[in-house]
């Protein structure tokens, strides 16, 4: 059967080509790493202390190399300069002075997710399991409270295969967190009891009050929450992932509006007047924004040029003027410590 | 399993003595193709949720919705694949097209990092899967002696499931060795898919199916696929499918009951697959002996028991494992067995169409079931919803048995 011999030959060629392609690709991926690793490893520990002494930004570094996924810090006045790497690695991080909350994914056959509270030395002081993929993390301004949002498989029962979120708020120092979905949600004064309720993206006002997004039946609301009252009160519709400004007067958020599914416009809401200001960033932002100061909003955007897993932290004026600019390249999940 | 490329595919003319020991080479080759393709596709789907949220920053809510919609689209493409395979009478090339589309979608994943691009790539993969399934099953049926159809499909599904088990392990091993190397996962996945495609194109015999030389007319294929015996089978499959709660919901139910299950969610899939893998061949052989229709009905009894295990208030690992074993038993007794059953109910020139029709009925019925079950869960709660479906299934099983009575008797 000469036909068979030919086919076996062609098959061997295909297998060889496939194996060679994989080997070449992996080798190039491995050797590409040390390039990024030099600046990364150079400044561990020693560089961190002077930076965190002043006003600084804590973020997840997405620069390729050893430092990928590590928490890093830069001074507020030199954000695009060299970064100092902490020993911690997080998918999502938020910090106040002396404390950080860190969501990590432990990859494996059964990937598990943990929330770690990091102390002043960036080492875990406590940790516990969270259900699902890390999405959002927030500390209250004094660090006493921690809020996390993770994606859990299929809590929204109506659509097969759909994913859903779980948001937990708890004391940072220890003690059981509460599932915010259990709070009473009121829209226009009426309680919403639908089981498809979802809450995500907490931002703290003080140690009792917070803002978050609640959703049910395809609608989303900005809700004001009270831990003591165990209530969520809807303030207005179509506000996702709120972030309260340092002066507590405005909220930066993702507005879906009439955009296609899965796209949002970064917008600022004045809480007193109810006026919404779309910001100059016209690309879709899927992030919980952070405030650099009372006039500037920060957010992460995936890099769309190299098709890689990298992202940058951008800054845009909070009043709708100006233009977005890259504040910290190769970064994600910023937290500003003033 | 003995594989030799020199073997001729077993046909109905094969000696009965050999038949009991060996499965046709074509079936094993198609199983290997499915194994490699499943390794490839499960590598990607295992890391996709993590990749999207942790690396690209796409909301999973939006992705999950799209995914659900395209499962539906794939059901219709399936019919197309079945009819095309039958009409062209060269199912191999329709299947190859399907496998090819899925393979090509892998490297495109590297370039895709917007919502639209990811959706397009995932859609291409699903379309490829929809297109190839029915013609491939028609090839398996064509290459197997009628008395051993259940075993043949069992062997194929076991290899297929083995691939689905290897895929995630390979992907996570890669990620453990090369953190964040999602691109490496996609590249390896593409390479594996390519080898699978090569096995299909180079070694699976290009058998003409159906008798005669004329290309069957579309109307003739459809009429042949709509015979009374098939109609009753489709009705039974639809009735049972509408009461088949998606395994995602069953896992979710276990997760709500036991805290341990919540953390080990992906292991639930592994548990079910292990049971499926272990039972696919024995239950396929048993189906050949006691009748495939009977095995199909018995499989749904296992499903009913799985509902009851998942609905019970008593939690714990024993009940969870039992649920998974029952679920695996159900898949082993239904998926390949249905294809084996249907392939005997339609004339040779309409096999692909008949199998596609049955699979589409099942997919659509299960889609409807998921929506209904989700609504019932929301309205009545987890336990009442499961018990409600259990009661309905308990009534539907005898009804399906009645519909399927004597369906396998020779004309």
Residue A3 or A162, more confident:
A3
Contacts with A286 from chain B: Cβ below 8 Å: 57-59
* pLDDT computed for residue A42 by the predictor: 38
Residue B280 or B182, more confident:
B280
Instruction: Answer whether A23 touches B (CB < 8 Å).
Output: no
Nearest to A105 among B5, B50, B375 (CB): B50
- Give the dihedral sign, CA A89/A90/A96/A98: negative
User: Are B30 and B165 contained in the same domain?
Assistant: yes
By C-alpha distance, the chain B residue nearest A261 is B62
Question: What length is written for chain B?
Answer: 411
Contacts with A4 from chain B: Cβ below 8 Å: 5-6
Residue A305 or B320, more confident:
B320
Average pLDDT over residues B304-313: 90
Question: What length is written for chain A?
Answer: 338
* pLDDT computed for residue B65 by the predictor: 52
Residue B347 or A305, more confident:
B347
User: Are B362 and B392 contained in the same domain?
Assistant: yes
Contacts with A159 from chain B: Cβ below 8 Å: 64-65, 68, 371, 374
Average pLDDT over residues B251-267: 67
* pLDDT computed for residue B15 by the predictor: 42
User: Are B113 and B238 contained in the same domain?
Assistant: no
User: Are B45 and B175 contained in the same domain?
Assistant: yes
> Is the entire prediction scored with pTM above 0.80?
no
Among the candidates B209, B234, B268, a domain finishes at B209
Radius of gyration of chain B (CA): 21
Number of separate domains in chain B: 2
Render A184-198 in DSSP notation, one character per residue.
Answer: EEEETTEEE--TT-E
Nearest to A162 among B64, B184, B195 (CB): B64
CB contact under 8 A, B191 and A19: yes
CB-based burial, B151-175: b 16+ in 10 Å, e otherwise = bbbbbbbbbbbbbbbbbbbbbbebb
pLDDT tens sequence across B368-379: 887 788 778 877
Query: Residue ranges of the domains in chain A?
Result: 2-337
By C-alpha distance, the chain B residue nearest A330 is B55
The A56-61 sheet, strands edge to edge: A84-89, A70-75, A56-61, A331-337
Determine, yes or no, domain membership for B259: yes
Determine, yes or no, domain membership for B6: no
Residue A125 or A3, more confident:
A125
What DSSP designation does B350 have?
G
Greatest distance between any 2 Cα atoms in chain B: 62
* pLDDT computed for residue A239 by the predictor: 92
Residue B270 or A116, more confident:
A116
Determine how many CB atoms are found less than 10 A away from the CB of residue B322. Answer: 17
User: Are B205 and B295 contained in the same domain?
Assistant: no
Contacts with B251 from chain A: Cβ below 8 Å: 153
pLDDT tens sequence across B127-152: 898 899 999 999 999 999 988 999 99
User: From CA B203, how far away is CA A12, in angstroms rounded?
Assistant: 12
Average pLDDT over residues A97-116: 81
Among the candidates B181, B209, B237, a domain finishes at B209
Determine, yes or no, domain membership for B233: yes
Determine, yes or no, domain membership for B409: no
pLDDT band at B59 (very low <50, low <70, confident <90, very high): very low
- How many contacts, defined by CB atoms under 8 Å, are there between A and B? 174
pLDDT tens sequence across A269-317: 999 999 999 999 999 888 899 999 999 999 999 876 544 557 899 999 9
Q: Per-residue pLDDT for B19 more than 60?
A: no
User: From CA A113, how far away is CA A132, in angstroms rounded?
Assistant: 6
Q: How far is CA A30 from CA A42, A248, B330, in A?
A: 19, 47, 44
Interface subset of A 300-329, CB within 8 angstroms of B: 300-302, 304, 307-309, 311
Q: List the single best residue of B33, B185, B188, B265 to mutate versus A (max A Cβ within 10 A).
A: B265
Q: Do B134 and B353 form a contact (C-beta atoms < 8 A)?
A: yes
Taking Cα atoms as reference points, which of B42, B36, B28, B33 lies closest to residue B125?
B42
User: A210 — phi, psi (to 5°)?
Assistant: -150, 165
Determine, yes or no, domain membership for B2: no
Contacts with A9 from chain B: Cβ below 8 Å: none
Q: Do A163 and A153 form a contact (C-beta atoms < 8 A)?
A: yes
- % of chain B with per-residue pLDDT over 70: 83
CB contact under 8 A, B187 and A134: no
Q: Per-residue pLDDT for B399 more than 90?
A: yes
Place of tokens 């194996």: A19
Render B224-281 in DSSP notation, one character per residue.
Answer: HTT-HHHHHHHHHHHHHHHT---HHHHHHHHHHH-HHHHHTHHHHHHHHHHHHHHHHH
Name the token pair of B245. Answer: 């709660």
By C-alpha distance, the chain B residue nearest A302 is B56
Q: How far is CA B364 from CA A50, A323, B359, in A?
A: 62, 49, 9
Collapsing DSSP to helix, strand or coil, B198 comes out as: helix
Contacts with B60 from chain A: Cβ below 8 Å: 133, 151, 163
Q: How far is CA A211 from CA A178, A215, A248, A278, B352, in A?
A: 15, 13, 11, 19, 56
pLDDT band at B263 (very low <50, low <70, confident <90, very high): low
Q: Per-residue pLDDT for B7 more than 50?
A: no
Interface subset of A 207-266, CB within 8 angstroms of B: 261-263
CB contact under 8 A, B54 and A91: yes
User: Are B168 and B242 contained in the same domain?
Assistant: no
Determine, yes or no, domain membership for B11: no
CB contact under 8 A, A160 and B58: no
Name the token pair of B35. Answer: 């194994």
User: Are B170 and B59 contained in the same domain?
Assistant: yes
Determine, yes or no, domain membership for B171: yes
Determine, yes or no, domain membership for B340: yes
Render B15-57 in DSSP notation, one character per residue.
Answer: -HHHHTT---HHHHHHHHHHHHHHHHHHHHHHHHHHIIIIII-
Q: Do A166 and A200 form a contact (C-beta atoms < 8 A)?
A: no
CATH value at residue B310: 1.20.1250.20
Taking Cα atoms as reference points, which of A163, A247, A174 lies closest to residue A200?
A163
* pLDDT computed for residue B307 by the predictor: 94
Pairing outcome for strands A184-187 and A190-192: antiparallel
With residue A85 as reference, give the H or E element that holds it: strand A84-89
* pLDDT computed for residue A211 by the predictor: 96
Average pLDDT of the residues of chain B = 82
Nearest to B71 among A153, A161, A307 (CB): A161
Closest CA of chain B from A129, distance in Å: 8
* pLDDT computed for residue A170 by the predictor: 92
Q: Per-residue pLDDT for B52 more than 90?
A: no
CB-based burial, A313-334: b 16+ in 10 Å, e otherwise = bbbbbbeeeeebeebbbbbbbb
pLDDT band at B184 (very low <50, low <70, confident <90, very high): confident
According to DSSP H, which parts of B112-148 are helical?
Answer: 115-143
Q: List the single best residue of B7, B47, B56, B197 to mutate versus A (max A Cβ within 10 A).
A: B56
Q: Do A262 and B58 form a contact (C-beta atoms < 8 A)?
A: yes
Q: List the single best residue of A134, A262, A305 to mutate versus B (max B Cβ within 10 A).
A: A262
pLDDT tens sequence across B194-239: 999 999 999 998 877 665 556 677 777 777 777 788 889 999 999 9
CB contact under 8 A, B5 and A68: no
CB-based burial, A112-124: b 16+ in 10 Å, e otherwise = bbbbbbbeeebee
According to CATH, what is the number of the domain A2-337?
2.120.10.30
User: Are B312 and B255 contained in the same domain?
Assistant: yes
User: From CA A36, how far away is CA A68, in angstroms rounded?
Assistant: 9
pLDDT tens sequence across A167-221: 999 999 888 899 998 899 999 989 988 777 888 899 999 999 999 999 887 788 9
* pLDDT computed for residue A41 by the predictor: 40
CB contact under 8 A, B198 and A22: no
Closest CA of chain A from B410, distance in Å: 39
Closest CA of chain B from A272, distance in Å: 30
Q: Do A150 and A113 form a contact (C-beta atoms < 8 A)?
A: yes
ipTM: 0.76
By C-alpha distance, the chain B residue nearest A241 is B59
* pLDDT computed for residue B306 by the predictor: 95
Range of the domain at B250: 225-403
User: From CA A303, how far away is CA A81, in angstroms rounded?
Assistant: 19
User: From CA A10, how far away is CA B187, in angstroms rounded?
Assistant: 21
Give the dihedral of Cα atoms B398, B404, B409, B411; nearest 10 deg.
150
* pLDDT computed for residue A160 by the predictor: 32
Closest CA of chain B from A199, distance in Å: 13
User: From CA A162, how far away is CA B285, in angstroms rounded?
Assistant: 37
Q: Do B172 and A108 form a contact (C-beta atoms < 8 A)?
A: yes
CB contact under 8 A, B113 and A302: yes
Q: Per-residue pLDDT for B33 more than 80?
A: yes
pLDDT band at A34 (very low <50, low <70, confident <90, very high): very low
* pLDDT computed for residue A109 by the predictor: 55
Determine how many CB atoms are found less than 10 A away from the CB of residue A14. Answer: 18
User: Are B48 and B166 contained in the same domain?
Assistant: yes
Contacts with A7 from chain B: Cβ below 8 Å: 202-203
pLDDT band at A254 (very low <50, low <70, confident <90, very high): very high
CB contact under 8 A, A307 and B113: yes
Collapsing DSSP to helix, strand or coil, B180 comes out as: coil
Nearest to B378 among A196, A309, A332 (CB): A196
Average pLDDT over residues B86-91: 85
Closest CA of chain B from A42, distance in Å: 20
Among the candidates B159, B175, B209, a domain finishes at B209
């Amino acid at each position: 059967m000469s036909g068979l011999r030919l086919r076996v030959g062609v098959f061997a060629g295909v297998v060889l080509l496939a194996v060679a392609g994989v080997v070449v690709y992996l080798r190039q991926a491995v050797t590409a790493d040390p390039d990024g690793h030099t600046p990364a490893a150079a400044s561990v520990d020693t560089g961190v202390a002077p930076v965190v002494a002043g006003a600084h930004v804590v973020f997840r570094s997405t620069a390729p190399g050893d430092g990928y996924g590590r928490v890093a810090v830069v001074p507020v006045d030199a954000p695009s300069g060299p970064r100092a790497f902490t020993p911690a690695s997080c998918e999502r991080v938020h910090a106040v002075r002396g404390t950080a909350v860190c969501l990590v994914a432990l990859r494996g056959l059964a990937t598990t997710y943990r929330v770690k509270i990091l102390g002043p030395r960036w080492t875990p002081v406590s940790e516990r399991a969270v259900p699902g993929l890390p999405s959002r993390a927030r500390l209250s301004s004094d660090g006493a409270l921690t809020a996390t949002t993770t994606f859990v498989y299929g809590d929204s029962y109506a659509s097969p295969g759909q994913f859903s979120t779980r948001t937990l708020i708890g004391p940072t120092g220890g003690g059981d967190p509460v599932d915010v979905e259990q709070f009473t949600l009121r829209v226009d004064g009426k309680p919403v009891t639908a089981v498809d309720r979802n809450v995500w993206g907490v931002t703290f006002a003080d140690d009792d009050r917070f803002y978050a997004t609640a959703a049910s039946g395809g609608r989303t609301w900005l809700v004001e929450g009270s831990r003591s009252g165990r209530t969520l009160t809807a303030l207005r519709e179509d506000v996702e992932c709120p972030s309260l400004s340092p002066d507590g007067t405005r909220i930066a958020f993702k507005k879906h509006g009439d955009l296609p599914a899965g796209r949002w416009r970064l917008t600022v809401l004045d809480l007193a007047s109810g006026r919404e200001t779309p910001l100059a960033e016209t690309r879709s932002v899927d992030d919980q924004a952070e405030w650099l100061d009372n006039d500037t909003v920060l957010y992460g955007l995936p890099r769309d040029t190299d098709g890689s897993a990298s992202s940058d932290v951008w800054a845009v004026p909070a009043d709708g003027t100006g233009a977005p600019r890259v504040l910290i390249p190769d970064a994600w999940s910023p937290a500003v410590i003033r | 399993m003995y594989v030799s490329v020199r073997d001729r595919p077993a046909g109905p003319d094969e000696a009965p003595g050999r038949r009991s020991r060996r499965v046709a080479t074509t079936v094993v080759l198609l199983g290997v193709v499915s194994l490699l393709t499943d390794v490839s596709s499960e590598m990607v789907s295992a890391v996709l949720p993590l990749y999207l949220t942790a690396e690209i920053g796409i909301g999973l809510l939006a992705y999950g919705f799209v995914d659900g919609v395209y499962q539906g689209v794939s059901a219709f493409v399936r019919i197309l694949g079945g009819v095309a395979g039958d009409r062209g009478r060269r199912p191999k090339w329709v299947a190859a097209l399907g496998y090819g589309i899925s393979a090509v979608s892998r490297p495109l994943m590297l370039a895709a990092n917007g919502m639209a691009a990811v959706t397009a790539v995932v859609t291409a993969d699903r379309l490829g899967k929809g297109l190839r399934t029915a013609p491939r099953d028609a090839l398996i049926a064509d290459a197997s002696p009628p008395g051993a159809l259940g075993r043949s499909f069992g062997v194929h599904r076991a290899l297929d499931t083995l691939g689905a088990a290897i895929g995630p392990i390979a992907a996570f091993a890669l990620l453990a060795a090369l953190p964040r190397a999602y691109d490496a996962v996609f590249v390896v996945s593409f390479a594996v898919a390519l080898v699978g495609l090569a096995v299909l194109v180079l070694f699976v015999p290009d058998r003409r199916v159906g008798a005669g030389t004329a290309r069957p007319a579309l109307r003739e294929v459809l009429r042949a696929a709509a015979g009374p015996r098939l109609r009753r089978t489709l009705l039974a499959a639809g009735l049972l499918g509408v009461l088949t709660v998606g395994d995602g919901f069953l896992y979710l139910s276990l997760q709500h009951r036991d805290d341990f299950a919540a953390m080990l969610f992906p292991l639930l899939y592994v548990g079910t697959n292990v049971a499926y893998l272990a039972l696919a061949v024995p239950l396929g052989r048993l189906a050949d002996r006691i009748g495939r229709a009977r095995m199909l009905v018995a499989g749904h009894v296992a499903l009913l028991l799985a509902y009851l295990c998942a609905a019970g208030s008593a939690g714990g690992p024993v009940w969870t494992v039992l649920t998974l074993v029952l679920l695996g038993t159900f898949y082993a007794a239904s998926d390949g067995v249905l294809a084996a059953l249907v392939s005997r109910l339609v004339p040779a020139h309409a096999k692909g169409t008949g199998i596609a029709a049955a699979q589409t009925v099942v997919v659509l019925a299960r889609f409807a079931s998921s929506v209904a079950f989700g609504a019932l869960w929301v309205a009545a709660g987890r336990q009442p919803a499961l018990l409600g479906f259990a009661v309905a299934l308990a009534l539907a099983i005898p009804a399906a048995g009645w519909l399927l009575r004597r369906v396998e008797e020779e004309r």
